[in-house]
Amino acid sequence: MAKKVFMLSEIVKVEQLKKYFPVQKSFLEQLFTRELSYVKAVDNVAFSIRSGEIFTLAGESGCGKTTAGRVVVRLLEPTSGKIYFNGKDITKLRGEKLRLLRRKMQMIFQDPYASLNPRMKVVAAVGHPLGIHELAKGGEKKKMVLEVLEKVGLTPPEQFVNLFPHQLSGGQRQRVALARSIILRPEFMVADEPVSMIDVSLRTTIIDLMLNFRKELGLTYLFITHDLAVAKYISDRIAIMYLGKIIEMGSKELLFLDPKHPYTQALLLAIPVPNPELERKRLGLTGEVPSAIDVPTGCRFHPRCPYNTDKCSKEEPQLIEVEKGHFVACHLMK
Amino acid sequence: MTKAKIKRSILARVIPGLTSLVKKGPSGWMVILGMIIVTAMVVMTVIGPSVAPHDPIRSDSRLIRKPPSLQFPMGTTHLGQDMLSRILCGGSIMLQVSTFSVLVCFLIGVPLGLFSSYVGGVFDRACSLVIDAIYAFPGLVIAIAISAMLGRGVVNMALSIAVVYIPSYFRVVRSQVLSIKELTYVEAARGIGAKWHTIIFRYVFPNVIPSIVVVATINFADAVLTAAGLTFIGLGLGVDVPDWGRDLTSGWAYVSSGAWWIITFPGLMIILLALGFTLIGEGLSELLNPKLQR
Amino acid sequence: MPLLKVDSLAVDYRTSRGTIRAVEDVSFSLKKGETLGLAGESGSGKSTLGLSIIRLVPYPGVIVKGHIKIDETDIVKLREHEMRSIRGRKAAYIFQDPMTSLNPVKRIGAHFIELIRTHEPNIGKEEAFERTKTVVKNLGILSERINDYPHQFSGGMRQRIMIGLAIALNPDLVIADEPTTALDVIVQAKILDLLESLRKVYGMALILISHDLSIILERCDKIIVMYAGHMLEYATSIEMHRNPKHPYTQGLLQSIPNIELFDQKLVAIPGSPPDMFNPPKGCSFWPRCSYVKKICRVKEPPLIKVGRNHFVRCFLYGKKGVHVERNRKS
């Protein structure tokens, strides 16, 4: 068996990751057909994240980025493929070993109104990870909670400890969620659209907090978003997903200055720019994103692509490195 | 802590609770009214036997079916027993039976519902099938069947009533758990490494409680009526035990001959007790549901 | 003569917990064919303002002061049945959520036909159907799909249908409340382009309500920035982009990621939007303002004209104030 070679600084590596969800069959269908159809939410995705990096999975809704994020932290089980954390294969980890892994890998969620238990006070919610992993009790636990609340900008922390989530605003709740996930000093964090449900004037604060933690705690991020402007602000490298596949991946500079895939180009041209004096062009895309159950043949993007050729409907393009650090999956790249 | 301190701390919690209930409008008043009725009944049950003017069981053939008078404010039964004393003593049985059956229901139905719906899969489907089968039967029919099998006695009666209502708890808990299970904060709990029992008891269960409370209070009311129904038919309790349901049966036969008091007073008490619980349940369901979702 | 003229409008919500002044002293005008953007965060009052223009503020909301003149008619004073002839014909509203705004048991074509025949009862079925086909075509929807039900369309398509329903009767004014919030970026751009092209064809005025300042700046002629029910700045979009005067506007512009820029330095606005049951005394923005002075905490600043088409509500300007230029880094 070939030895797996990891760059010393690769903290997370994902290979040939697939997550298919079986589609519920109606009663008659169950009787008469044997085949199952699947929602191919994540279909053969591969990437690696370097320690200290902010790697973004970007794309529109339904592209599979959220599912991919959850699979990486094992909140969902992969259908096939491998996930490596710090060089170790964690794909099939279970039970106690998986729980120990959770100390190092954390996740924050999109909806600050739903990610906190409405019946737990802030101090209980934020301190809970310490209790679960038996790292601190009583007075020491409370001290650590106060410390971390201060870190996320909820000052004075004493004012917040005995509050329930419904007594906090959306921005405050998201900070509590952040506090809860960093109290264990994780090494890696998946952030699933952490600011999309927060008021515009407060987004920068949360984003800045996350950037601070990268510096202070050496955190590595997998950032998931549909907002490419935010992605541009915060990321080091970005992968654009479409219908379960990565269609372009590269550093922020390469992707935004020289987008090669037609979908990426269309996306960038569609994003609103806060400048009334700018003339915007559009890359005309036809139709809408098809369902992930009945995926188009060949290149998934071909029905909408203005450069569609014969080959595109027959053969699926592979993700190739077209220049150093810049990967594109498109037949036009030859 | 001294008795005085205990009293003070209980009052310190109860009084602000009551005043906030009053402020909440008609639903709050319903709850308070229901609580007053139930408390009054409980008090009556407790002190009843000591203040009853006559022995509720002692029959006197000379005093048969006497209408209400000074000596017998609620009249006498067909066996010459004093109605008032029977009313005062009969409540205790009713409350014991309904409390016990609600407790059994709760202790079986809720954990089963929690566990079954959280685990899911084949286990859940099997449980649901059994529970649905029980649910499909009219309550009184099951209660009668089981009571006849088990025989007489307070515990047996409570058990036969309990079986009828376990499905309600199971179903309510299950439907709540199924939706809460999918919520982000439960996923977040898994994300921080919580074990399954922690998730069920600290994340899911506390959010299921509001709906259970409502079911429990309505359950009380229903249990009272079912218990009355059982003793009405003659099942469940010994002949000598004073009981409102039994008095209903006996009173039924004598209404036509004009002895209205034998059936009316027990009937009123049953209605009042059931009403008290229903008011609490309805008021709570109004208070707990939409306002919690702000 | 402006199509729409709003004067000192104030709207309250009378709830059991107290009265909220959702909109306070808003005045602006809109000409035929112009676009106005209402920008603001949650609780700013922009949606309430939009709804009050066609008198659809939900209970317990009440218009307490001011005038709203559509073509010289003050609609605040009209009776409900008179309003009904204005809604749909003169002014139309596109609601935020296309998923639930269509009747799931009615075919798309039927939605249009009912709308047309309600307002113009003399039109025969054939003519209504022809008009429906034209509108649907302009929306970019295949005419075979007229007989489909709402659930057979995607979110983006449903939003187009909502837009179509709004413009079907060729109104003079269309108010679009967060028309793209639930939609993806590419669909969002298409919808806004569609609104733009329909606007040019039919000549309507458009009020676009959104919390996304980028969209507003990109697509609107004039902009009102709302905060806690108050109109803080009112200017043409070009003016507001080159010369934002209010500290809140400047703060917003510095805190939104701009896709055209690299190495942006984003600056957060400290604090958070106020509790509308207990708004701050004086200027509603003072707790978060880095230029706050004593007077800001006590008195509400008046609306001051600072340019030909530029109004600000801030004590930094006017006779007593000093003009503050934004320190621009881009």
Inspect the interface and report whether the beta carbons of A60 and C184 lie closer than 8 Å: yes
**pLDDT, average across residues B189-217:** 86
Mean of pLDDT over chain B: 81
Closest CA to C158 of C211, C111, C221, C226: C111
Sketch out chain C's domains with CATH numbers. Answer: 4-225 (3.40.50.300), 243-313 (no CATH)
**pLDDT, average across residues C102-130:** 87
List, for residues A117-172, the tens digit of each pLDDT value: 988 889 999 999 999 888 888 889 999 999 999 999 888 899 999 998 988 888 89
With beta carbons under 8 A apart, name residues in chain A contacting B196: none
- Note the pLDDT of residue C323: 52
- The whole-angstrom separation of Cα C252 and Cα C40 is 10
Are C20 and C277 within 8 A, CB to CB?
Answer: yes
Residue B220 counted as domain residue: yes
Interface probe for C, chosen from A201, A202, A238, A256 (most Cβ of C below 10 Å), is: A201
Q: Quote the domain boundaries for residue B142.
A: 42-292
- The whole-angstrom separation of Cα C154 and Cα A290 is 10
CATH number at B146 reads: 1.10.3720.10
Cα A192 to Cα A247, B97, C298, distances in angstroms:
20, 53, 42
| Chains in contact with chain C (at least 3 beta-carbon pairs closer than 8 A) | A
Q: Which 3 state secondary structure label does DSSP give B275?
A: helix
More reliable by pLDDT, C220 or C72: C220
Residue B120 counted as domain residue: yes
List, for residues B129-142, the tens digit of each pLDDT value: 999 998 898 888 88
Return the biggest CA–CA distance within chain B: 78
- The whole-angstrom separation of Cα B292 and Cα A303 is 47
Inspect the interface and report whether the beta carbons of C259 and A228 lie closer than 8 Å: yes
Which of C41, C184, C218 minimises the CB distance to A272?
Answer: C218
Total domains in the fold of chain B? 1
- The whole-angstrom separation of Cα B86 and Cα B232 is 15
Are C218 and A272 within 8 A, CB to CB?
Answer: yes
Using alpha carbons only, how large is chain B's radius of gyration in Å?
22
CB-based contacts of A280: which residues, under 8 Å, 6+ apart? A269, A273, C218
Q: What is the pTM for the complete model shown?
A: 0.81
With beta carbons under 8 A apart, name residues in chain A contacting C213: 200, 274
* Residue B171 structure tokens: 């179903």
Class of domain A7-26+36-99+222-334: alpha beta
Interface probe for C, chosen from A160, A271, A279, A280 (most Cβ of C below 10 Å), is: A271
- The whole-angstrom separation of Cα C36 and Cα C59 is 26
Residue B166 counted as domain residue: yes
Inspect the interface and report whether the beta carbons of A230 and C257 lie closer than 8 Å: yes
Range from A44-58, A202-216, B87-101 carrying the lowest mean pLDDT: B87-101
- Note the pLDDT of residue C228: 93
Q: How confident is the model at residue C328 (pLDDT cuts 50, 70, 90)?
A: very low
Residue B30 counted as domain residue: no
To the nearest whole Å, the CA of A240 is away from the closest chain C CA by 13
Q: Does A240 touch chain C (CB under 8 A)?
A: no
With beta carbons under 8 A apart, name residues in chain A contacting C253: 274
Q: What is the ipTM of this complex?
A: 0.82
With beta carbons under 8 A apart, name residues in chain A contacting C238: 276-277
Residue B28 counted as domain residue: no
Using alpha carbons only, how large is chain C's radius of gyration in Å?
21
| Domain ranges (residues) in chain A | 7-26+36-99+222-334
Neighbours of C301 (CB within 10 A): 23
Inspect the interface and report whether the beta carbons of A229 and C257 lie closer than 8 Å: yes
Interface probe for B, chosen from A72, A106, A115, A120 (most Cβ of B below 10 Å), is: A115
Inspect the interface and report whether the beta carbons of A75 and B185 lie closer than 8 Å: no
CA A219 to chain CA centroid, nearest Å: 15
Are C19 and C48 within 8 A, CB to CB?
Answer: no
Residue B14 counted as domain residue: no
**SS in 3 state form for C171-229?**
CCEEEEECCCCCCCHHHHHHHHHHHHHHHHHHCCEEEEEECCHHHHHHHCCEEEEEECC
- Note the pLDDT of residue C319: 65
- Note the pLDDT of residue A6: 55
Cα C29 to Cα C7, C34, C195, C208, C224, distances in angstroms:
9, 10, 20, 14, 11
